[in-house]
Homo-oligomer: A and B are copies of this chain.
């Protein structure tokens, strides 16, 4: 049997880049190589760091470039996926119009796939993670924001303007009455259900809560101690107000899931990010609200699951995109 092709996946974030070589059945050949992105050093430096991270990933796998069939890169938006360009990404300032795909393809002389980072993570979970047995899935990643990606029949819904699967900015409330989102609009799912907004809602709920709650200790302590994790931990421990905040979070996420069902009706909806460490009770809460508020027929069968690849989903998915490109010839 000829040797299976191998792919480099690179996940570019605002703070770090992660990369590893991944086999054609989705197995990383080493721990990922991590380097600082340092966007403030400019985009030329950024492109060089991408290349260096890729080189080190190949070394970490004890391979040479000749062993690599193709490369895949996921980056945050704004971007033009078809053109292979980062346009004007809020998390990578001051980069602008960076020709990522062409640069990497030229430096390494390899077919190079370029993708939105959330789409890449979704593809990772679809390929070898939580949704590996599903034909279609929607991923929501809960962090500072709410990222998302839609995969149908092994294809990423990229969108005509590279904004497919921006379900964090799908509204769950009307724009005149909804919560303010970081994007400037009101009513976006992200304004309710991101980790950042779990903390904000906890503060607001405390302000009009007269009962006892351990959340207050965090509120008066160092702000940095007060993250979504504390809210979830206190809820798991039975704190009534923390439980209310978590329950509301599940409700809002379920409304996002219901919108995904009415839109593309996937086989599976996957939630990733820090909050899913809280465990099965949180998943079950989301599922219960989906069953209550979703379109009855598809909701009966849709699977609600937590992501499996953690923060590796991005580079594994990027490698999966390289594999897709390679297989298409």
Contacts and interface: CB of A to CB of B under 8 A. Distances in A.
User: For A134, A173, A300, which residue has the most chain B Cβ atoms within 10 angstroms?
Assistant: A173
B136 A263 contact: no
User: For A166, A297, A302, which residue has the most chain B Cβ atoms within 10 angstroms?
Assistant: A297
Nearest to A293: B175
A262 interface: yes
A185 interface: yes
A295 B264 contact: no
A265 interface: yes
Interface residues of A, number: 44
A224 interface: no
B259 A171 contact: yes
A260 B260 CA distance: 10
A158 B258 CA distance: 16
A171 B264 contact: no
Contacts of A265: 157-166
A144 to B, nearest CB: 18
A298 interface: yes
Interface string A160-189: 111111110111111100000001010000
A87 to B, nearest CB: 8
User: For A150, A163, A174, which residue has the most chain B Cβ atoms within 10 angstroms?
Assistant: A163
Given A159-B298, A165-B263, 9 more contacts: A152-B157, A166-B263, A166-B265, A167-B263, A170-B259, A171-B172, A173-B174, A174-B255, A259-B259
